[in-house]
Structure 1
Amino acid sequence: MSIEVSNETEVEIDEKEFVDAARYVLGKMHVSGQVELAILFVEPEVSERLHLDWLDLEGPTDVMSFPMDELRPGTSLSPVTEGTLGDIVICPQVAAKQAQAAHHAVIEEMLLLLTHGILHLLGYDHAEPEEEKEMFTLQRQLLLSYLAERKA
């Protein structure tokens, strides 16, 4: 599995933490093998430009996902073994504001955004209430289990 992390911000990022978290989430979603994923951390100005260019929405956003091969979750009997999952773009400054508002650590917010982005790359969405419930429940379970195993 190839996971590339690029930090284009002045915010200190523990790249290993994000690689470990991505590997964990992808493993739980039965995506393994030769899958490629890129995680990019950007300044608010870059996030705002991408948000406007791709979604026609103003202002910086916390996370955006850019799928490539439209991979879907596998199963324990039939894991996804190869392909390019895509790119996840995270803005640490937006994440920090959200973390403060939610009263939790910035790293936890950014790991949540990573998990959210991976689920989008795997075809999950939250446009409809039923989809939102499924996606947000899954991302919460994945993040909490990752954090619990990380601390064990």
Structure 2
Amino acid sequence: MSDQHVEGFLDEILKTEPTYFKVKFKVKPTNNYKIYIDGDQGITIDQCIKFNRALYKQIEEAALYPEGDFSLEVSSPGVDEPLQNIRQYKKNIGRKVEVTLTDERKLEGILKEVAEDTISVEETKGKGKKAVTEVVALPFKDIKTTIVQIQF
């Protein structure tokens, strides 16, 4: 039951900062809360610390763990974490992504568009003068994972 309280506190805190959103909320058996937050324009370490402190304060004030036997980690999703929700997809339009489909096929290209139930990826096949570029529409239901590809 405490898990629902903590997630509710988090949702209330995020309502005051509408450019940020919850990506993932995990609880390990030892009352270890691991929370991933992102922002439409990204998120800084300082902002993660701010959310952590606000949430920690609410947990303590509600006396959910009178003995203090809980831990709390608030961070941004790592660069190798798959995209989890539509807001993450939208903030990554224009970036190179690798999409793994439910049938294990992989597709790599530029994320062009995000709709309610599909994404469009511009894929280039071949090299040089033989390169062919096409935009492929992929329904979310057919996507297993999408990972942003960091380019240097």
Q: Under a length normalisation based on structure 1, what TM-score does the superposition of the two structures give?
A: 0.24
Structure with the largest fraction of helix: 1
More strand by percentage: 2
Higher relative contact order (CA closer than 8 Å, sequence separation 6+): 1
- Please tell me whether Structure 1 or Structure 2 has the larger radius of gyration of its CA atoms: 2
